[in-house]
A and B are shown apart, each in its own frame.
Chain A
Amino acid sequence: MSQNLLVQGPVKGVRILTLHRPEALNALNTALLGEISLALDEAEADSATGAVVITGDDRAFAAGADINEMASRDLVGILEDPRQAHWARIARFSKPLIAAINGFALGGGCELAMHADILIAGENARFGQPEINLGIMPGAGGTQRLLRAVGQSMAMQMVLTGEQISAKRALEAGLISEICVPELTLERAIAIAQIIAAKAPLAVRLAKEAIHKAADADLATGLRFERHAFTILAGTEDRKEGLAAFQEKRKPVFTGK
């Protein structure tokens, strides 16, 4: 069992996944990607986990894929690439995933960050899709999620030139939602995750799904999904508790039912 991913928690409903391949700036080889997807399986199954934070270290969130590994694959190898299943698993994670990013988030690292629902970055963070420099292109959503986050001109510029952008520009473009002093990035991400983990889990899950729906459906479909999800929550005990607690001016105690 290789240990490229450190898993902590849950503490106050939050699990922390730390990418730990410092010798390779946390490059995402298949083994590490597999560990992430396994850790999300476990987080999904654990009712005590309400949200997950994923992070790297001071220098890098993740500086891309493992180039040696990639170079060893031919066309058929890429067609049958096991990585696709891992990426799909990360995208399917139903609980909130929050990325705390310091340093480089490049290539696969940028794509991994964009799989998160909320991105918090240190002032020193750098985002980019440098695949074009290697004669290839992003292969894990880099052309799709980046476009949706930052718009066409910046997405095209980043993907076609391979140039990086700063945390400040990422914030302006809407790729991330908050910028921090780097020493506090993880702490801030955990605080946000804990706030979310204290909410009604079913409401959180459906709200997340509804927002994701908006990215690939037309407005009418999205609104219909939202209405259905809203209706489903009407049957939950947590809704009763939430509304009652508000009326009685007390803190709600959610049970996930």
Chain B
Amino acid sequence: MSEQTILLEIEQGVALLTLNRPGSLNSFNADMHAEMRSAISQIRKNPEVRALLITGAGRGFCAGQDLSDRNVAPGAEVPDLGESIEKRYNPLLRSLRDLPMPVICAVNGVAAGAGANIALACDITLAARSASFIQAFCKIGLIPDSGGTWSLPRLVGMARAKALAMMGDKISAEQAAAWGMIWQCVDDEQLMDEALKLARHLASQPTAGLALIKRALNASMNNSFDEQLDLERDLQRLAGRTEDYREGVAAFIEKRKPEFKGR
């Protein structure tokens, strides 16, 4: 094991996680899954970290599954893709969604297959103008996984979701932003500056409150209006007990800038 497939730097409350197999457009193999898992568990355990920023090394963001891990020779036994999803992709997607902090994604280049859907599962996704999104699965007889069939209709509506998933067309970052699939498209050379600025800002905000906002919005996709009102009541009860809420109110009354601790 020579090369690190995941780079993790933690600075000023921001964890910067870089997918690092640039030679293969940062596609996922077993090593990268394992390193990703350990990086996310480190982030979760570190109370200093208040925002996560994910990006890719080199010219691509992530090309999804490394198909050289998946070559099916004629006559060979068919691999159980369900198992790989159950053991690797699904836990990764669940852990990003459950992480109690904002997860920002800076899509620096092509995001294809599971790579696209990982980007879409993050809380706030920015993309470089030259980046693109491809639901490549349909071209090799598969279905969008890593939450794609869940995220797409919710982000862009069913009509566009079906066409994207069945045609596998490349969507530019500008188009993605225009459709509401991502938060913003920015010029290539500004992507990391913008993304870091956003991450640092969020890391200085009331993180516990942001985590509760994330929980509430994620749950709203499946809840009825009534259930959601109850959930808002419960999460607001928790939010009201945070130190940051006290600080926020105190600073407002004293007409000063609040100093949030993320608790």
* A residues with CB within 8 A of B: 180-181, 183-184
Closest to B234 in A: A181
Q: With A and B bound together, what is the CA distance between A181 and B218 in angstroms?
A: 14
Q: With A and B bound together, what is the CA distance between A119 and B237 in angstroms?
A: 22
Please give, as numbers and ranges, the residues of chain A lying within 8 Å of B238 by CB-CB distance.
181, 183-184
Q: With A and B bound together, what is the CA distance between A180 and B235 in angstroms?
A: 10
B231 at the interface (CB under 8 A from A): yes
* B residues with CB within 8 A of A: 215, 231, 234-235, 237-238
Chain B nearest CB: distance from A121 CB in Å?
A: 14
For chains A and B in complex, what number of residue pairs have CB atoms within 8 angstroms?
A: 10
Give the dominant DSSP class at B's interface.
Answer: helix
Q: A181-B215, A181-B231 are in contact. List 8 more A-B contacts (CB 8 A).
A: A180-B234, A181-B234, A181-B235, A181-B238, A183-B238, A184-B234, A184-B237, A184-B238
Closest to A178 in B: B230
Closest to B227 in A: A179
Please give, as numbers and ranges, the residues of chain A lying within 8 Å of B231 by CB-CB distance.
181
Q: With A and B bound together, what is the CA distance between A184 and B215 in angstroms?
A: 15
Chain A nearest CB: distance from B222 CB in Å?
A: 9
Please give, as numbers and ranges, the residues of chain B lying within 8 Å of A180 by CB-CB distance.
234
Q: With A and B bound together, what is the CA distance between A184 and B231 in angstroms?
A: 11
Instruction: Name which of A180, A181, A183, A184 has the most chain B CB atoms within 10 A of its CB.
Output: A181
Q: With A and B bound together, what is the CA distance between A183 and B212 in angstroms?
A: 12
Please give, as numbers and ranges, the residues of chain B lying within 8 Å of A183 by CB-CB distance.
238
Please give, as numbers and ranges, the residues of chain B lying within 8 Å of A181 by CB-CB distance.
215, 231, 234-235, 238
Closest to B235 in A: A181
Q: With A and B bound together, what is the CA distance between A192 and B262 in angstroms?
A: 32
Q: List 10 A-B contacts (CB under 8 A).
A: A180-B234, A181-B215, A181-B231, A181-B234, A181-B235, A181-B238, A183-B238, A184-B234, A184-B237, A184-B238
Please give, as numbers and ranges, the residues of chain A lying within 8 Å of B234 by CB-CB distance.
180-181, 184
Chain A nearest CB: distance from B223 CB in Å?
A: 11
Please give, as numbers and ranges, the residues of chain B lying within 8 Å of A184 by CB-CB distance.
234, 237-238
Q: With A and B bound together, what is the CA distance between A149 and B73 in angstroms?
A: 50
Q: With A and B bound together, what is the CA distance between A184 and B237 in angstroms?
A: 9
